[in-house]
Structure formats: structure tokens, C-alpha cells
A = this chain, B = another copy of it.
Amino acid sequence: MRFGKLVLLAAGLLGRLAPAAAQGYGRYVDPMIGSEGLGRVFVGPSCPFGLVKPGPDCTSSPNSGWLPMPAPVTGFAQVHVSGTGGGPKYGNVLLMPFSGPLDRLDQAAPRETERAALGYYGARLKPSGIQVDVTAAEKVSFYRFTYPAHQPRALKIDAGFFLGEEPEPDAREAQQFVGSEIEVVSPTEIRGYSRIRGGWNNGPAYTVYFAAVFDAPVASFVTWKGATLYPGQQEQPDSGEKTGALLRFADGGPDSVKVKVGISFLSAARARANVAAEVPGWDFGQVLGQLRARWEGLLGRIALDPATPPDQQKLFYTGLYHTLLMPVDRSGENPLWNGPQPYYDDFYAIWDTFRSSNPLITLLAPEREVAIVNALLNIYQHEGYLPDARSGNANGRTQGGSHAEVLIADAYAKGLPGIDYPQGLAAMLHDATVPPGGNEEKEGRGGLLDYRRLGYVPSGVVRAGNRTLDYAYDDYCIAVVAKGLGETATYEQYRRQAGNWQNLWRAGYRDHGATGFIMPRDAAGRWLDSIPYGTSNIQKPYFPYTPLTREYPWYVCHWCGFFYEATSWEYSLSVPHQVPALIARAGGPAAFRARLDTLFARKYYNVANEPSFLTPSLYHWLGRPDLSSQRIHQIIDKSFNTTHFGLPGNDDSGAMSSWLAFQLLGLYPNAGQSYYLLNAPLVRQSVLHQPGGRDFTITARNFSPANPYVVAARLNGKPFPQAWIEHRDLVRGGTLVLEMGPRPAAWGTKILPPDGGTL
């Protein structure tokens, strides 16, 4: 009888507890796509740009926290980032349910099952059989722990946990513990914080405050400090040691205990107030439903043909989903300064996101992109430099350029309202004129004095190659805004500097049939075939450099190569603002065509690296959009899918995902400029719902695998022979009909895409 009741109960519980599958567009979001392999996406629930990202943490090493089974789960931390490379960040305030006595800190447990859906993560732990269900509001994680009947209902709250701890005290990119605190405020509330520094951006200390409230009273508890347990001690004030609490809920209540964890970057009381403001009740389904409704409002702004195969829809909507996870909206949670302006953190990094993530946000949720750009300007105003990357409330890391410039120019070129563009220009010019000195890893432009003096960053300065290309691109963006604002002298100067990439173009250099490469050059103007390393007069090791060099000798520090994360074969094609000039320098259209073909045929192309994002589209400037589409479709077929391994590289805060989402629509932006390249879409029809009720519909007529080419197009009923379209045409609404056919035709062969060089 008792046994029977148990079984019944368990079955009943499961039936009751399993969250309803997401409806609408949300059902096509699969948070597990890209979770394994290089993708490193965050798998737990999050609101769009949500401050909390609760999810499982499996060891201290994975950036997203999660590892596939059978790795045991250490617990569930409240703050994560998605898709990042380099060292980890966050992983703060860890919860872990268990059923044993309150006698040890390690409560890690393997999973029996797990399931993730939009706004939901669930796992059943073993051997305890505890079911964990998680969802989230903006600043509040919502947990439901369902314990097997008649088992002790216990919970660990660890204020000292974080991702990426290393034994070496100040290891580069490792997070470092600073302090933590915990207080049992009442039988149903625990407050505390975790203060951590370092991590990927080598940032200063940030503090994650929390307030955890329960729907069941705590009957007994043990707090800890370091390795010592303190039964019944309510408060562990910060003494620079790790602290936390083991709780046992009173027996006799329902089997599930619900826990709301408010998070704040200001204070624990603020965290508690966030709980009260966002999640006053205890209905798991309601919180999940609200989260899904928020997503639905955004995902639904682009409606794919309902007949699109589910896997295509999954690729697309999961792509949108990943793109909208970061940066994180921390408005009202800025511990650095006060004011009504939006505050966003976790720009991770703009070097990764400017190409397609931010343009996709602009297209999907322009009000968010406006807020993001204003947040950047607000940071500039208070701290002196725009971030290129930022996390934990601090600028840190510049991979190449100062690419906030691209976001400002992109916003300007696309006419986003509500941004102080003169201030934007001032901020960009600060990057372009004030050397960051000893802070060049943090912000600004390293090697700026040389770049200004020589027109390129000379060998000897780390990442001289991509810095030169990136600065030239950023300078183009400055020229865009300066021209628009009528700042003629500035416009002229930066338009000239936009061509600085040519100063590292080694014209006669040949490699595998291609001529002309971005190559190392010293300050005296000499081209280098071997790079001297270091400044020692006694020992001066040289190492050879070729356009295919990707790995450097052991004595060259990480981040100290000629290019960041790429070869010269890849980066020499990364001049998105002056493609026609690039084609000319590379020997003209025929040579350039051959070079692109070689790149793809010999697998020199790296789909996983952002500087190559535009590369498959470069055929457009040769009048061959058919070849662009062909390459893009090949790349997608080969490198993207709906499995856990569905992303070919670090998602980088949605960068990879946004590239995919754009290409599925047949659109691809060239950031800092106002147009999109058009390609053969992978979906028959898409509707872009624009603010004000205006729709823009893209229809591929005669869409079928047998008709892979766009042969003609009509925009709002009129012939549209060009393979690119202006942003303003999309946002004013209308129809674009792409006629598909079995063979390439004249479409896109005559009116080539704009040349930023003619700015």
C-alpha cells in the first residue's frame, strides 16, 4: 500500500511537474544546440539579455558551466556567460539539493536524466532521485527541487563557488576568490554574496549579491567558513574565506521545495527586492510562462514560413535565441555610477559580435541596440574609454581594434534614433587618438602611436597584423559618422586612414597561387619573412612567418602573434569596408576569384572565426552572388546542425548563431554600412515584423533544392536586379520576391554592392 502510494505519487508528481513544452516560436529553441564541442553555449534558462542565467556547473573548468553526462553536477550557479572562449567568468552563488546529513560540503551528484527547453532546464540527480527544475525571471532564478517522498530535503548554498579557479594565485584569465558572506536571515531566507576578480578579462573584483527565499521553512542548518562547519551559526561575515550554508527543510511539507534566488550587483537587500518585484508568487509555471512570453515577443518579430522543416526552424530560432542572450541588461544594477541611462555588461567581445550579432539585434530589436549603444557611450563618459570587451563591470581585453566604433557607425548608418552621435564621435576619436599605454589589454588601441606615425602597426607590437586591419576598419567607421555630422576635417583624415590596411599589404608576395598578403613589417618599413621575438640584445630568436602560420613557437606568449586567431590567408581578405580596393590589390577580379576558390578548396577558410564571417560573400563584389550562396550553403550544410555539436566554433556571445540566422534568411550585413547582401535563402518565406506594424516579406519563388539560385528579384513589385538591399528598404516594410532557378542568371552581376572606399 505504502509502496503503491509512493509510485503513484512519483508518477503524479512527474506528470504535474514536467513543464509544458514551449509553444509558438519558442518550441524551436533548443538550448542544447552548440552545447558540446566548441560551441560552449549556456544551456540554462535566461530572459532575453537576462541578468540571471541559472544552470548546472559540472566542474570549475567549462566556460558555460555545463558538461554532458556522465560528468557529475557540482551545483547550479546563477550567473553565466554563453559561448565564450578564453578563461571562464562568473559561475556565482551555487545551489545544490541533496538528501543526506548536513555534514559535508561536497554534494556533487551525477544526472540520471536532463532536459533543456526555452526557459527551462531540468535534471534528475542520482542516486538521490532529486528532480531539479529551473526557470528564470530577469534578475531572479526560480528553482523547484522535488525530493523523493520521506527523504530529508536538504540544500547547499555555496557563496564561495566560481568557475575557473586555479591553484596559481594570479593565473592569467583565472578567476580569483576575494570574499564571500552568508546570513540565515530567517527560516525562509538566506542572503549573502560572492566577490570574485580576474577571469577572462582580468577584471577587478565584482560582487554578486543574492537573496534566496524558500516556500518551506528551514528546520536546521550549518554554515561553513573555509573547511569548518558551524552548526546553527546564522552569520558568516566576510573574512576573505569561502562560506556557505547547508540547510535542511522541515519535514512534513510537500515533496518539492521552491527557491527563488534574487541576484543583484548592488546589494543583498536589492536582490531581495528584485525577488519581490519580479516573482511575488510561487508558481513555477507562471514564471516560466512569463519568460517564454518575453521571448515570443522577440522571436516572433521574424516569422518563417510555417511549412519550414522543424530542423531549419530550430537552427533559425535557436540562432536568434543565442544572439539575444548577451550583452546582459544590468540597468538599475550598476554599482559604479548612478543615472537613468541603460547599463549593459558582458560585451564578450565586440570584436566577435559587431559583424552579425549587433546587426541582428538592430534588425530584430532596434530599441535594444539603441540601449546597448547608449550604454557604451555612458561607459565612455564615466570611464574614459569605450569597451571593446567588458565583463564584471569592467572593460578588459582588446583583441584587435576598438570595435565599439563599428556599433556606433552601424547605428548611425541605419538611422537608429535616440543616440547622441556627436558624443559617439567624440568617444570614437578618443579610441583613435589617446593611447591606452599600460592599459592596452584593457581598452583603447595598443600600438596607436606607431599606427598614427607609420600608418600601420609594426612588427614588435603584438597582434600587429590584425590591429592594423581592425584600426583601419574602425577608422572607416569614424569617417562614416564624421561625414554625416559634417565634421569635414575629421572625415577626410579618417577616410584616408581607412586605407591603412594597404600599408601592410605586401604586394608581390605569392603563396599557393595568390598574390599579395597582409604581412609583418618592421618600423623601418622592411617586410619580414622571419619575425624577431622579444627585445633582448643577447638572445634574439626569430621564427619564420608565412600566410599559413597559425601556431607560434612556445616562447611567443599567447595573444602575441601577428594575427589574433587567424592566418594571413584568412585575414588578408578581411577588409569589409574596401572590398573593391582589396580585389584590385589582389590582382583584379579573376585573380581574386581564383584566390577565394583556393581558400575554400584548400580549407584555408575557417568557418569558426569571426574575421572570416564576410569572406564567403566576397563573390558578390565579383558579380557572382551565386557563388556566395553556394559557399554559404555548403558551410551551413557542413558545419551547422541541430545537435549538441551544432556550432563549429565558440558561439562567442551569439556571433556564430547570428551569422547562421542571417544566412538562413538570405541576408547578410556588412557592419558599419547600411545594406545587406542578398543570397539564396534557406527558407521559402520570412516576414520581418517592423516597429509600427510594417512587415517586410522575403519570398523565394519556386523554392526547391532543384532551384538553388536567385535568377531575378522584385522589390515591392519592381524589378530589383542587385544582390544587396538597403536597411531602410527593410524597415519601411514591403516585399522582396526572389525568383529561384536551377542556374545562375544575370541577377546581381551588374550593380555590385557598395564600396565603402568611395565614402
Contacts and interface: CB of A to CB of B under 8 A. Distances in A.
B336 A183 contact: no
Contact of A337 (B178, B266, B267): B178
A683 to B, nearest CB: 45
A195 B335 contact: yes
A237 B267 contact: yes
Contacts of A381: 170
A444 interface: yes
A204 interface: yes
B438 A179 contact: no
A147 B266 CA distance: 37
B430 A335 contact: no
A430 B269 CA distance: 42
Q: How many copies does the complex hold?
A: 2
Nearest to A537: B489
Interface in A203-240: 204-205, 207, 235-240
Given A237-B267, A269-B181, A205 B337 contact: yes
A204 B332 CA distance: 17
Nearest to A274: B237
Contacts of A385: 438
Contacts of A178: 335-338
A272 B437 contact: no
Contact of A179 (B179, B197, B266): B266
Interface string A273-290: 100000000000000000
A336 B196 CA distance: 8
A36 interface: no
Nearest to A193: B267
A243 to B, nearest CB: 10
A435 interface: yes
Given A176-B337, A335-B205, A183 B269 contact: yes
A116 interface: no
Contacts of A384: 438-439
A354 interface: no
Nearest to A449: B449
Contacts of A435: 435, 437-438
Interface residues of A, number: 48
A485 interface: no
A685 B469 CA distance: 72
Interface in A246-272: 264, 266-267, 269-270, 272
Contacts of A239: 270, 273, 332
A20 interface: no
A133 to B, nearest CB: 28
A179 B335 contact: yes
A337 B273 CA distance: 28
Given A178-B337, A179-B266, A240 B437 contact: no
A172 to B, nearest CB: 13
Contacts of A181: 266-267, 269-270
A189 B712 CA distance: 77
A112 interface: no
Interface string A164-184: 000001100000111101010
A391 to B, nearest CB: 16
Contacts of A9: none
Contacts of A264: 238
A110 interface: no
A430 B438 contact: yes
A438 B436 CA distance: 5
A651 B715 CA distance: 76
A434 interface: yes
A337 B236 CA distance: 19
Contacts of A597: none
A238 B267 CA distance: 7
Interface string A310-342: 000000000000000000000010011111000
A414 B476 CA distance: 56
A147 B747 CA distance: 91
Contact of A176 (B177, B269, B338): B338
A296 interface: no
Nearest to A179: B266
Interface string A95-127: 000000000000000000000000000000000
A440 interface: yes
Contacts of A267: 179, 181, 193, 237-238
Given A437-B438, A438-B385, A438-B430, A336 B204 contact: yes
Interface in A325-373: 332, 335-339
Given A183-B269, A195-B266, 13 more contacts: A178-B338, A179-B267, A179-B335, A181-B269, A204-B383, A205-B337, A235-B269, A237-B270, A239-B332, A435-B438, A436-B437, A437-B440, A449-B449
Interface of A: 169-170, 176-179, 181, 183, 193, 195, 197, 204-205, 207, 235-240, 264, 266-267, 269-270, 272-273, 332, 335-339, 381-385, 430, 434-440, 444, 449
**Nearest 8 interchain pairs by C-beta:** A437-B437, A237-B269, A237-B273, A435-B437, A434-B438, A436-B437, A238-B266, A237-B270
23 contacts: A170-B381, A170-B382, A176-B337, A177-B338, A178-B337, A179-B335, A195-B266, A197-B336, A235-B269, A236-B269, A237-B266, A237-B269, A237-B270, A238-B264, A238-B267, A240-B332, A240-B338, A384-B438, A384-B439, A385-B438, A430-B438, A436-B437, A436-B438
